[in-house]
Amino acid sequence: MDYLDYTNWKIPTQEKEAIPLVMEKIRNNEHSVRASKNLSNLANYYLIAWKLSLEYLNLDFENPKIVDKLECFINDLRSGKLKKYVTKWVGEKGKEKLKRVAIGEYKDKKKYIQALRIYVSLRYETDNSDNIINPKFEEIQDKLLKKINKTKFYKEEKEVETLEEEEIEKLISETHSEFIARIETESIGGLREGEASSILMNGVRLADEKNPFVEIEITKSKTRTRKPKLYSKKSQERIKNFYDKRISENAKPTDKFFTKSHSAFRQHIKRLGRRVLNKNVYPHMFRASAVTNNIEKGLIKDESDMNSYYGWSFGTGTCRKYINKRKLTLKEVDKNARKKIFGDKPQPQRTIQDVEFEKKIEMEAFKKDLLKEVEEMLKNKKYVDVEEEDMTEKEVEIYLETNPTNKPINIANTKTASV
């Protein structure tokens, strides 16, 4: 059986001697490890994972300090402090040097803990048929396994990346008709990129008297066929403009609605996003943006409707992964509350008297703050040399900050600042 070379690992000699014994137990399937047709690949899978943990520990497993060192390894691995390194040429041309460079933290952290658990379990087993743990090492193994088994890794859910409507409009304003229609279709209709590429001319139904919305028939989907609609007038105009252009180009009913390929659209959007928004933009962001923005508008917010509109399987909960919760507000809730309170009546508007009253309150607050500042300055023996009757209260404040002299000022004689 061919193993990876572990003889050069920076680990104690006792552990180097224990590795082939553990490998032999894996080959004989003495331990309940992952089933594999190729046992050589399985053993090497564990060797790669063991190299990280054993070189970090760099202690004989009979050493009493091994438990504390193991805890440090788990904490560093979990926090991302433990980095993955590669050796490559770095430096200016002609002056390159080989150097170990960090390329990020380890991704599948759970794999290294599971592999270490296998090693510790097999490391202390005897070769007899009863598979009894050597009593001498039973206490050490028990401590190590308890520490390992307590380790839990929680998968962090990344917030889905979306675009604001203003950002989408900026992209649209900087591109041409086909990409305008495509962005509109994906950012409003929430189409997958493959679905948008497969739309046919006869699959686009423009708004008319019977159907006031643009309807797009999707026949090639990874879930099921459906007919999402674009509800805004702006969307209808943009789709109609490009549809008319395709008709003027003598497009047949069975021709594709969009002529550009998926890769061409992706590259164009990537360049456009960096130039206009100074950020990375990719097609799938439009689908996620459609989900979040349509919920914010109150158009499609029921899970059942979302599954039907965006083409997700029912009961999978996929819709929740596409919602950017950070960008959702309570606009729709506020709107419904206002309807419930005021009904169809117009909401009360602020009168001129209301505005003047608010200004008066602000002015009173301003006066109080100014008086406090002046009194504080007088206490600290800061004076001003200025004709008091020629200054407003705001000017007093500015003057006191910049020109302290020897003459006290009577704030009561100053003019009232205009609002």
Characterize the bridge pairing of strands 214-216 and 97-105.
Answer: unpaired
Q: Do residues 398 and 373 lie in contact, with contact meaning Cβ atoms separated by under 8 Å?
A: no
pLDDT-based confidence at residue 322 (cuts at 50, 70, 90): low
DSSP secondary structure letters along 352-410? HHHHHHHHHHHHHHHHHHHHHHHHHHHHTT-B--S-GGG-BHHHHHHHHHH--BS----
- Of the ranges 34-48, 352-366, 370-384, the best mean pLDDT one: 352-366
**Whether the predicted pLDDT of 234 surpasses 60:** yes
pTM beyond 0.75: the answer is no
CA distance 156 to 244: 47
pLDDT-based confidence at residue 35 (cuts at 50, 70, 90): very low
DSSP secondary structure letters along 330-347? SHHHHHHHHHHHHTTSPP
Q: What is the set of domains in the chain, with CATH numbers?
A: 13-149 (no CATH), 168-339 (1.10.443.10), 352-413 (no CATH)
DSSP designation for 132: P
Instruction: Print burial letters for 308-321: b (CB count within 10 Å at least 16), e (below 16).
Output: bbbbbeeeeebbee
Q: Do residues 23 and 3 lie in contact, with contact meaning Cβ atoms separated by under 8 Å?
A: yes
Range list of β-strands (E), 28-177: 83-90, 97-105
**Whether the predicted pLDDT of 146 surpasses 60:** yes
Q: Which of 132-141, 178-187, 267-276, 291-300 has the lowest mean pLDDT?
A: 132-141
**Whether the predicted pLDDT of 242 surpasses 90:** yes
